[in-house]
Structures are given as structure tokens and as C-alpha cells.
């Protein structure tokens, strides 16, 4: 891919990694291009809640000084970090988009995900926008980069928007309900939600220990594969996956009990998918779920609500004096699912 020096920000993570590995590009020049993109676009997009240019440049300079044999698989690649993952840098706070942590400083150690990224040679670029504790609906000024009047989705809004707008090639997000897949869809990027418990949540703001999982954003599948390999997710395959083909495949289409709420766009996508699959040799089967599945959402709500209560009870119980009123506590309690 031919890219001018001033448009290095357009490189995918895979392309940038190859250029850096073969000494066609320095980590410093690469992040300078990304920072220029951030300066130009982030006033409109608002993907970042914290980004220190000097800290980013210092990381790049140190990485450029490393000999080839000490360089990791993500050497020189910038990664945006959702602002619910602890970062040890003294100038990179973790604040969860919450007034309760507005004055917080740095953490004593990286979260597990950030630590692994850093050890692989990634540049911890900055902290991306999220909703409060990644569980409430209120967010910051982050906008959809394709149309600033549209939402970027939540709660991993900044992580998806930054990647979609070419401000970073990769980013780290998390999901309890739809917080990875929704922003990926809204911003037109690839979102990867890992299987539960395959990536450590240590050092991440936990809402529900049963439902939470970290995940990633990228602009193509090859870039997601870089991260999947780093986190050893490909080792879960007992044997190489066979080539994908829908010819002679049996594919089930299942309308759940919430299907009556589907809108015209969903209907159109549903019908198109069936048509394309059938035209390519697949056998389509329509499957009816047992009536007991009607309670799925209530079951999930019960589990997540109780785990959220456990996670946030200390914060609710220890609000500072001036705001520790029963009205304030009730507001937080209702929003966070606490019965207190």
C-alpha cells in the first residue's frame, strides 16, 4: 500500500508493524503522524479523555532504541485504552468517566491487558472515552466520526471512534451487554468480543464477573488476528480451522421472543442474509425456541444486577460527605442496580 509520509496514519496495524520491523518506518515517525491526525480530528470526534503527546513520543523513542532481538510482536503499534483499564503511567490516570474518580492519579500497576500489550512493544497511546463505569448511559462528548450528530454507541465509544477515524490502528474495549459489538457496528469497524474468561479482567472496572469480557477494535481482520495471537486466543483451537464455505452447510435462523420488536432494517438484513446463503449452496432451517427462552433476558438481568450490586456497593456506601445524601445514593443505587 503506497502511503505518503503525511498519511502514515492510514496504515493498518499489520502494515505499520511490517514497515517498522523492516526499518522502513520508525515508531517515532509513525506516532507523529497519528498525533497529527488526533490534533486535526479529535476536536470534532472527542475519542480521547486523556492523551499526553510527550508521553507517547517518549515511548516511541525508547522503542526505536531497542535492538531487533528485543522487539515484541506489537513493536511500535499505538493502542487506545478504554478508560476503565488501569495504567501504571504516572501521567495517565484511570477515571472511569466518574466524578467519584475525577481527582484520581495513576495506578500502581497496569491492568493485565495493558501489561501484556506493553510487554509486546505496543505504545499505550491514551485513554478513550466511555460511559460512567462502562455501565451507565451518560457519556462525554465523543461523537460518531462519520457524522458528529450521530452517537458512537457505548460504552466503548472512544475505542471504536478512535480506530474508525484513523487516530489509532487498535484499541482495547470491554463488554457486559453490547459494549463492544454496538460501537463496532455504529462506527463501521471490526469489534472482537472474546469468549468469557479467556482474557483476564484483572485491573479492569468489573460490572459483572459473569458477563464482563475485554475485547478489541481494528479496521480489518488481520489486525484483530495480531491481538488474538498475543492473547493466545488462537491456542484454543485444537486443530487448524477448516476453510470456510457455506456450500452444503446447514444454517439455522432463529427468531427469539423479541423478534416482534425488529425494525425494517433488521428485517431487510435478515431476508438478504437468507437469500445470499441459499444462493451459495446453504440449506436454511428455521428453528423455534422453547417457550422457556422467553425468560432469558430476565435471567440475565437478575445475574448482572446482583453482581453489579456487589461490585459497586463500596462506591455507593462511601460517597464523600457533601454529596452523600440519600437522594444521591438512591440515584447511584438505581443506576448501578444496587438494592441499598
Phi, psi values for residue 179, rounded to 5°:
-75, -10
Distances (CA, A) of 220 to 85, 143, 167, 247: 24, 22, 15, 25
The 8-class DSSP code of residue 25 comes to: S
200 flagged as catalytic: no
CA angle, 101 then 107 then 113, to 5°:
105
SS3 339: coil
Q: Identify the helix (H) or strand (E) that includes residue 216.
A: strand 213-218
Residue of 111, 174, 179, 208 marked catalytic:
179
Is 339 catalytic? The answer is no
Distance CA 23, CA 264 (A): 51
From 12, 32, 82, 171, the catalytic residue = 82
Residue 286: CA atoms inside 13 Å, Cβ hemisphere, count? 5
Catalytic position from the list 111, 135, 155, 159: 155
- Rounded-to-integer distance, Cα 301 and Cα 290, Å: 20
Could you confirm whether 179 is annotated as catalytic?
A: yes
Instruction: Report which of 155, 161, 147 is spatially closest to residue 189, judged by C-alpha positions.
Output: 161
Q: How far apart are CA 61 and CA 98, in angstroms?
A: 33
Q: Is 28 exposed, middle or buried (0-12, 13-18, 19+ CB in 10 A)?
A: middle
List CB contacts of 235: < 8 A, sequence separation 6 or more.
none
C-alpha–C-alpha distance, residues 8 and 25, integer Å:
9
How far, in Å, CA of 216 to CA of 225, rounded?
10
Give the Cα separation of 107 and 91 in Å (integer). Answer: 10
Q: Catalytic positions, please?
A: 82, 155, 179
Amino acid at each position: 500500500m503506497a502511503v505518503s509520509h503525511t498519511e502514515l496514519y492510514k496504515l493498518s496495524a499489520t502494515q505499520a508493524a511490517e514497515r517498522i520491523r523492516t526499518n522502513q518506518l520508525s515508531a517515532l515517525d509513525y506516532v507523529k503522524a497519528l498525533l497529527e491526525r488526533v490534533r486535526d480530528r479529535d476536536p470534532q470526534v472527542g475519542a480521547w479523555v486523556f492523551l499526553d503527546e510527550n508521553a507517547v513520543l517518549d515511548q516511541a523513542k525508547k522503542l526505536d532504541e531497542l535492538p531487533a532481538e528485543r522487539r515484541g510482536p506489537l513493536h511500535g503499534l499505538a493502542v487506545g485504552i478504554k478508560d476503565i483499564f488501569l495504567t501504571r503511567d504516572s501521567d495517565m490516570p484511570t477515571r472511569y468517566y466518574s466524578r467519584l474518580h475525577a481527582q484520581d492519579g495513576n495506578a500502581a500497576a497496569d491492568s493485565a491487558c495493558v501489561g501484556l500489550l506493553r510487554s509486546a512493544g505496543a505504545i499505550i497511546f491514551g485513554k478513550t472515552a466511555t460511559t460512567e463505569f462502562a455501565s451507565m448511559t451518560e457519556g462525554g462528548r465523543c461523537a460518531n466520526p462519520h457524522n458528529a450528530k450521530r452517537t458512537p454507541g457505548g460504552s466503548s465509544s472512544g475505542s471504536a471512534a478512535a480506530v474508525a477515524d484513523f487516530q489509532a490502528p487498535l484499541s482495547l474495549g470491554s463488554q457486559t451487554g453490547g459494549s463492544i459489538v454496538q460501537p463496532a457496528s455504529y462506527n463501521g469497524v471490526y469489534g472482537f468480543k472474546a469468549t468469557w474468561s479467556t482474557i483476564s479482567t484483572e485491573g479492569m472496572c468489573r460490572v459483572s464477573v459473569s458477563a464482563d469480557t475485554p475485547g478489541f477494535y481494528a479496521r480489518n481482520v488481520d489486525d484483530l488476528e495480531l491481538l488474538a495471537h498475543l492473547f493466545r486466543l488462537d491456542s484454543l483451537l485444537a486443530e487448524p480451522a477448516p476453510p470456510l464455505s457455506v456450500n452444503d452447510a446447514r444454517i439455522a435462523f432463529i427468531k427469539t421472543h423479541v423478534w416482534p420488536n425488529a425494525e425494517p432494517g433488521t428485517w431487510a438484513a435478515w431476508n438478504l442474509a437468507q437469500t445470499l446463503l441459499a444462493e451459495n449452496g446453504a440449506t436454511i432451517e428455521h428453528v423455534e425456541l422453547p417457550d422457556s427462552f422467553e425468560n432469558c433476558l430476565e435471567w440475565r438481568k437478575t445475574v448482572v444486577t446482583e453482581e453489579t450490586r456487589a461490585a459497586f456497593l463500596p462506591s455507593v456506601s462511601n460517597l464523600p460527605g457533601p454529596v452523600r445524601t440519600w437522594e444521591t445514593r438512591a440515584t447511584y443505587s438505581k443506576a448501578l442496580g444496587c438494592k441499598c
